[in-house]
Chain A
Amino acid sequence: MITTERSIELIQNSLDNLLESGMLPEKVAVSLDTVLLGVGAKLDSLGFVTFVTDLEERLTRELGRDVFFVLDDVQDFNITNPFLSASVFANYMVKLSQS
């Protein structure tokens, strides 16, 4: 099981990795309010997919078991008006780590 704080750290690590590979134009200092998807996000759609894939891998390593993100399972995620903040996603990661 991981904490919200650790989830935020993993999100930060993923975004740093994307920055290094040139998929993110500038450094993002992740806080609970950081927008990951939707209006105000620094990532484009494809960047978001890469971010999720990278993060999934990090969480798998962290927990020592296979973890697969399913965006439909994220509480408050609306597919017709996609918006995700770091806090919502961190909470989802915590729940996933408990399941």
Chain B
Amino acid sequence: MDQQLPVMVITGTSKGIGKGLAEHFLEHGYRVAGCSRGPSTIEHANYLHGQVDVTDEKQVQGWTRQLRTQMEQVDVLVCSVGLVKSALFMAVTSGAVFEEFLKTNIAATFYVCREISKLMLMKRKGRIVNVASIMAAIHEPGTSAYSSTKAAVIELTRVMARELAPQGITCNVVSPCMVETEASRSLGEEWQKRMLEMQAIKRPATIAEIANVISFFAHPDSGCITGQVVNMALVA
């Protein structure tokens, strides 16, 4: 591993957006520390994988302690882990389903941001980018659990942005529109079509386009940009 390269921590790197982002930033000059519940699906000299359930507070603490030893610093954190699954109208959404969204989308983001921000505080610099979704701005029926937890990620990020700004740490959100992933494909063609109809730009975003927003937030010249949300393909 090239110790001179900046370090980016990305959650949920076994598949989907997280994996795509990890591969992108490995090719663009970062050491990447990723994690997922399962084993690594990425092989790269500058990639370090942690088998972690990020909804488990203790596991997150243990993992970040390891990162502190192995990487010594974290320059950028990207919380991309999230639960995407079909759900019903709120009136018939079970408590179990809602809690699953709460744990994966907001509790996991909270734990990882809390622990990694401590490492950044020690260095008095850092960039945190949380991945939400344009669904938080659309209010689409049938997404009460998903959208409300993604909206919570946005609010969490804004509060963190104010708390951490004095120490040179910025916190921002990228809210992707539809992205072609295993998860979005599993929701079916009809859902994908409806999703694209709601977007101002009626095509899926690419991983490179999401990475571009993250690169902007992570750039040294973006030190004055904090608490912001970039909605992709949407006028919100």
A-side residues, CB < 8 A to B, are 21, 23, 45-46, 49-50, 53-54, 57, 60, 66, 68
Known: A46-B164, A50-B122, A54-B122. 19 other contacts (CB 8 A): A21-B124, A23-B124, A45-B163, A46-B121, A46-B163, A46-B167, A49-B118, A49-B121, A50-B121, A50-B167, A53-B118, A53-B119, A53-B121, A53-B122, A57-B68, A60-B65, A66-B62, A68-B58, A68-B61
CB distance from A19 to the nearest CB of B (A): 14
Which A residues touch B122, using CB under 8 A? Answer: 50, 53-54
- Are the CB atoms of B65 and A46 closer together than 8 Å? no
> Is B166 interfacial (CB 8 A cutoff)?
yes
CB distance from A71 to the nearest CB of B (A): 13
Which B residues touch A60, using CB under 8 A? Answer: 65
- Are the CB atoms of A66 and B61 closer together than 8 Å? yes
Q: Mostly helix, strand, loop or mixed at chain B's interface?
A: helix
Q: Mostly helix, strand, loop or mixed at chain A's interface?
A: helix
Which B residues touch A57, using CB under 8 A? Answer: 68
CB distance from B120 to the nearest CB of A (A): 10
Interface positions, chain B 74-132, Cβ under 8 Å from A, are: 118-119, 121-122, 124
- B24-68: CB near A (< 8 Å → 1, else 0) gives 000000000000000000000000000000000010011001001
What separation, in Å, do the CA atoms of A66 and B166 have in the docked complex? 29
Which A residues touch B62, using CB under 8 A? Answer: 66
Which A residues touch B163, using CB under 8 A? Answer: 45-46
Interface positions, chain B 116-162, Cβ under 8 Å from A, are: 118-119, 121-122, 124
Which B residues touch A54, using CB under 8 A? Answer: 122
What separation, in Å, do the CA atoms of A49 and B166 have in the docked complex? 13
What separation, in Å, do the CA atoms of A53 and B74 have in the docked complex? 15
21 A-B interface contacts by CB (under 8 A): A23-B124, A46-B121, A46-B163, A46-B164, A46-B166, A46-B167, A49-B118, A49-B121, A50-B118, A50-B121, A50-B122, A50-B167, A53-B119, A53-B121, A53-B122, A57-B68, A60-B65, A66-B62, A66-B65, A68-B58, A68-B61
